[in-house]
Each structure stands twice: as structure tokens, then as C-alpha cells.
């Protein structure tokens, strides 16, 4: 078993898998069970300020996007921050941290955007023995209507201001949790860094409506005939999250800022994607809510076997490894040529590649040969778009072949060039520079 120990913004955990601040981390009972199952850390469900706790609806809090086999693709919730008394939460956090000293205990916070509110709660959290705090600037439903959560996260100046207060009134590492409900994720990340944040975590959930009941024509799920947009998460949001993580990782202004990756992580492969794109730890919620806490064992085992196979001896060796491969479009090599290749031995003749290409792309796949059903790439039409690869139901049946320099591209009838040429110098680009970037 590979060593999965992680150090993230000064917080140690036996593995990079943390439970995100969410229903599974709302009380000691759940968190104890999570630690027994092997989770490396938790971000305790968001605490609000002292006084009467918030209340939740008593109708459905969750909705889902399912496959016909009812596998969950996307998940949505309208649960608010903890609806339990602050004192009870603080007592439980203290007990749990004392009993699980090797696990990361991070406390999520959301109080009104006023200095005195933050000043009041921060010492209380520090007294629990917790390892860090996470600022919930992302919750997109309910709390945002009250000027908290995403309402703060959407204004970089507020992010910087609150982060500064937290650094001023607490010694604990500060992780700023970002909302994806914004046009450019780099701005809130830069603001967090300017405010002195030790790390950012992302993404929080995405504004979403799951659907409409076809027979009542009411929004679904609904509480008494009305629904409210919820936060969307689960496997479907992973690509959105990965892009935002990579944007922050490769932004010169935030590069090196620790990132805790969140969004649709259900297995070690998902976690690896986040880690390679710059995340030092990952946070999980939906997968645990679907399968229970045991799922972390498969994540740990998968990552460990991968590391052993690849010769990595610590997670930190993988963090950010793929970031240099993420580029602006304009720097992509336009001289590179790929063509699809269909392996006739594994082709099952479903014809999906043909119809996808024929109807919606480049008419580059045959449907028949000598009067028989036969699917083959027409290299003189193929632009290497990868659509056929994505629609083929057979693993590895269609692959992309990179044409070596010198080979003639049958579509353009020109030999493939060994040199790099991108949009920045392309003759069709009115803004081109004279020399390659």
C-alpha cells in the first residue's frame, strides 16, 4: 500500500480523501462512522452564528438526475447550513477531534458579512482543537438570499475582506470555498489569495432545477407545490469543477495556492484528475451519500495501487502534474494531425460512429463495403474530431492515430509538418504576431 499521507495548508491527514461540508458531516454520529470507515478528514457541516439555528424545509431536500438503470448522474439539494445549535456542534467537534487526532478536522463557517460576527465565532472554533476553517462562500440556495454563502463568493472584494478578518482573528489555516456560479473563477481565487487565504476549495454546488413533474406540471422536487433552485453536484459536475481547478492552478496570480478539489468525485480516477490538475486534497459528498462511507476504501485502494504501479511514493508527487498540459486554445499545435482508426476485430457493427459522423459531423465513416455492413474511416474526410471515439460502445475499438511528420494527410493532401504552428501566427488570424509565441 502506497503512502497516501497528505499535508495540505499545514493540515495533515492519512489520505487525501476528505468528506466535504455537507449532510454527512453534520454531527458526531456520522463523522465517527466516517473516520471508522477510513476517511482522511472531514469538513464539518457549516456552522452559523450563535442563537436560534436556521430551519430546513420538511419536504424533499434532494433531487437527482438518473440513468434508466437509476444510476445517479447528478444530485441537487436545498438543505441549508447546520440546523443544530452552535454549542452542540462545537462540543461534538471537540470530542471527535480528541478521539481522532490523526484525521483532518476542518470546520466550515458562514456568518453574516460583518466583522463582529466573524470575530465572535473564530475563537470558539479554535477552542475545539480543529485543524482549520473553511469559509462557505459558495452555498447557492437559501443562505444566499440572506446575503451569505454564494452572495459573498460572487463579490471578490467581500471574499478578500472576510478572509482578512479570519486571518486577523484566528491562527487556524483558512480555506476559502468558492462558488462556481460566477463567470471567471480566477477573480474570487485571486481575492482569496490577496486576503491571505491559506488555500481555496472548489467547487461548491451549481444553481440548478432538476425538472418538472409531467403530470402536475410543477417544478420537481417540490415542497407543497413549490420548489426552489438547489445546488447541483455529483458526477455530472466533475468536468466543470476540473476546469475551474485547472484555471486557478495555472493562473500566474494564484499558482501554488493549495487547492482542495471538489465536484463529482466517486472513485480514485476522479480524484487523480483533480490531483493532477492541482488539488492537494479532494472532498467528496455525493458518492458517500449514494453508497455510504465504505466507498472511501475503494478510493484509497485504487489510488494506492495506481501509485505503486506508477512508482509514486507520495501524493504530493502527482499534485499539479498535468497543469502544464492545460493551455489556451490559441497555443494548440495546428500542424498536429490525428485520424480515427476503427479496429475491425472488435467492431460490433452498431453503426453509431457512422450515423454520428454522417448526420452531425464530417461524413468520414462508411456504412457499407461491397454491399455489406462495414464501418471504416475515410481518411480523406476525417478531421480527427474524436466524436466516433466518444459514441462507440466498445472500449478501445476506435482510437485516434497521430500522423507522424512526413506522412501525407489524405484530407489536405499535404505532408504533416514536424514544426509547431498555432493560431497566434496563423495567416487567417488578423491579430497574428509575426513569430510563433
Q: Within its chain, how far is the Cα of 303 from the centroid?
A: 17
Please report where in the chains the cell 460490433 appears, as a residue.
348
373 binds other proteins (CB under 8 A): yes
Nearer to other proteins, 98 or 373 (CB): 373
Smaller CB separation from other proteins, 302 or 351: 351
User: If binding is defined by CB under 8 A, does position 371 make contact with other proteins?
Assistant: no
Residues in CB range of 387: below 8 A, 6 or more apart: 353, 356, 357, 360, 361
Q: Tell me the β-bridge partners of 8.
A: 11
Rounded Cα–Cα distance for residues 308 and 315 (Å): 11
Taking the least distance from each CB to other proteins, the nearer of 322 and 385 is: 385
The H-or-E segment that residue 37 falls in is helix 28-37
For residue 103, what are the CA distances in angstroms to 6, 35, 265? 10, 8, 20
Number of residues that bind other proteins (CB under 8 A): 15
CB-based contact 395:401 (threshold 8 Å)? no
Tally of CA atoms within 13 A in the half-sphere of 265 that contains its CB: 34
Contact pick of 393, 404, 406, 427 for other proteins (by CB under 8 A): 393
Interface segment toward other proteins; rule CB under 8 A; list 65-73, 79-87, 194-202, 380-388: 65-73
Active site residues: 139
Q: Which is nearer to other proteins, 363 or 408 (CB)?
A: 363
Q: Starting from the edge strand earliest in sequence, which strands make up the sheet with 230-233, in order?
A: 62-66, 72-77, 230-233, 206-208
Question: Pairing mode, if any, of strands 132-136 and 174-177?
Answer: parallel
**What is the closest distance, in whole angstroms, from the C-beta atom of residue 392 to other proteins in the complex?**
10
Q: Which of 51, 52, 68, 427 binds other proteins (CB under 8 A)?
A: 68
- The contacts of residue 50 (CB under 8 Å, 6+ apart) are 86, 87, 120, 121
Please answer whether residues 82 and 93 qualify as being in contact, where contact means their C-beta atoms are separated by less than 8 angstroms.
no
- Residue 71 or 432 with smaller CB distance to other proteins: 71
How many angstroms separate the CA atoms of 100 and 325, rounded? 39
Neighbours of 429 (CB within 10 A): 12
CB of 357 to other proteins, least distance (A): 10
- The minimum distance between CB 356 and other proteins, in angstroms, equals 9
Q: Among 255, 332, 394, 437, indicate the residue that binds other proteins (CB under 8 A).
A: 394
Instruction: Please identify, using beta-carbon distances, which residue of 68 and 324 lies nearer to other proteins.
Output: 68
How far is 126 from 241, CA to CA, in rounded Å? 30
- Return the closest-CA partner of residue 287 out of 237, 245, 239: 237
Beta carbon of residue 225, minimum distance to other proteins (angstroms, whole number): 22
Q: What is the DSSP letter of 223?
A: B
Contact string 163-202 vs other proteins (x = CB under 8 A):
----------------------------------------
Cβ closest to other proteins, residue 22 vs residue 347: 347
Shortest Å, Cβ 393 to other proteins: 5
CB of 69 to other proteins, least distance (A): 5
| Contact yes or no for 76/231 (Cβ under 8 A) | yes
Among 1, 51, 55, 67, binds other proteins (CB under 8 A): 67
Between CA 213 and CA 218 the distance in angstroms is 6
Q: How far is the CB of 39 from other proteins (least distance, A)?
A: 32
Stretch in the footprint of other proteins (CB under 8 A) among 55-63, 66-74, 127-135, 333-341: 66-74
**122 versus 347: smaller Cβ distance to other proteins:** 347
Give me the 70-89 binding string for other proteins, x by CB under 8 A, dash otherwise. Answer: x-------------------
**For the window 325-364, what string marks contact with other proteins as x by the rule CB under 8 A?**
-----------------------xxxxx-xx---------
69 sits near other proteins (criterion: CB under 8 A) = yes
Contact, 74 vs 235, CB < 8 A?
yes
Q: Which residues bind other proteins (CB under 8 A)?
A: 67-70, 348-352, 354-355, 367, 373, 393-394
Amino acid at each position: 500500500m502506497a503512502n497516501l499521507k497528505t499535508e495540505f495548508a499545514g493540515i495533515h491527514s492519512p489520505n487525501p480523501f476528505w468528506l466535504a461540508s455537507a449532510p454527512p458531516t453534520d454531527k458526531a454520529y456520522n463523522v465517527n462512522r466516517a473516520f471508522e470507515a477510513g476517511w482522511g478528514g472531514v469538513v464539518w457541516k457549516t456552522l452559523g452564528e450563535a442563537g436560534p439555528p436556521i430551519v430546513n424545509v420538511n419536504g424533499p431536500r434532494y433531487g437527482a438526475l438518473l440513468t434508466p438503470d437509476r444510476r445517479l448522474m447528478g444530485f441537487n439539494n436545498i438543505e441549508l447550513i447546520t440546523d443544530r445549535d452552535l454549542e452542540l456542534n462545537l462540543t461534538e467537534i471537540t470530542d471527535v477531534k480528541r478521539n481522532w487526532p490523526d484525521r483532518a478536522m476542518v470546520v466550515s463557517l458562514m456568518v453574516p458579512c460583518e466583522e463582529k460576527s466573524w470575530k465572535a465565532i473564530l475563537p470558539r472554533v479554535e477552542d475545539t482543537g480543529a485543524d482549520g476553517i473553511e469559509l462557505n462562500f459558495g452555498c447557492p440556495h437559501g443562505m444566499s438570499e440572506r446575503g451569505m454563502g454564494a452572495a459573498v463568493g460572487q463579490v471578490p472584494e467581500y471574499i478578500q475582506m472576510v478572509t482578512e478578518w479570519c486571518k486577523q482573528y484566528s491562527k487556524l489555516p483558512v480555506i476559502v470555498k468558492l462558488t462556481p456560479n460566477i463567470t471567471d473563477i480566477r477573480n474570487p481565487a485571486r481575492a482569496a489569495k490577496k486576503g491571505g487565504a491559506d488555500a481555496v476549495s472548489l467547487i461548491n454546488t451549481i444553481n440548478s432545477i432538476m425538472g418538472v413533474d409531467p403530470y402536475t406540471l410543477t417544478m420537481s422536487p417540490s415542497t407543497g407545490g413549490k420548489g426552489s433552485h438547489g445546488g447541483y453536484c455529483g458526477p455530472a459536475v466533475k468536468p466543470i469543477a476540473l476546469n475551474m481547478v485547472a484555471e486557478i492552478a495555472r493562473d500566474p496570480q494564484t499558482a501554488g495556492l493549495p487547492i482542495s478539489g471538489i465536484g463529482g468525485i466517486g472513485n480514485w480516477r476522479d480524484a487523480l484528475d483533480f490531483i493532477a490538475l492541482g488539488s492537494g486534497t479532494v472532498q467528496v459528498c455525493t458518492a458517500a451519500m449514494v453508497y455510504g462511507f465504505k466507498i472511501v476504501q475503494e478510493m484509497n485502494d485504487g489510488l494506492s495501487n495506481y501509485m505503486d504501479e506508477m512508482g509514486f511514493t507520495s501524493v504530493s508527487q502527482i499534485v499539479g502534474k498535468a497543469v502544464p498540459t492545460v493551455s489556451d486554445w490559441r497555443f494548440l499545435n495546428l500542424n498536429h494531425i490525428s485520424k480515427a482508426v476503427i479496429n475491425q476485430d472488435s467492431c460490433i457493427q452498431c453503426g453509431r460512429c457512422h450515423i454520428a459522423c454522417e448526420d452531425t459531423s464530417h461524413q468520414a465513416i462508411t456504412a457499407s463495403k461491397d454491399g455489406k455492413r462495414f464501418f471504416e474511416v475515410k481518411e480523406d474526410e476525417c478531421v480527427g474530431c474524436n466524436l466516433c471515439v466518444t459514441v462507440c460502445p466498445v472500449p478501445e475499438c476506435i482510437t485516434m492515430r497521430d500522423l507522424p511528420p512526413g506522412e501525407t494527410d489524405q484530407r489536405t493532401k499535404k505532408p504533416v509538418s514536424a514544426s509547431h504552428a498555432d493560431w497566434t501566427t496563423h495567416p487567417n488570424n488578423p491579430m497574428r504576431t509575426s513569430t510563433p509565441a
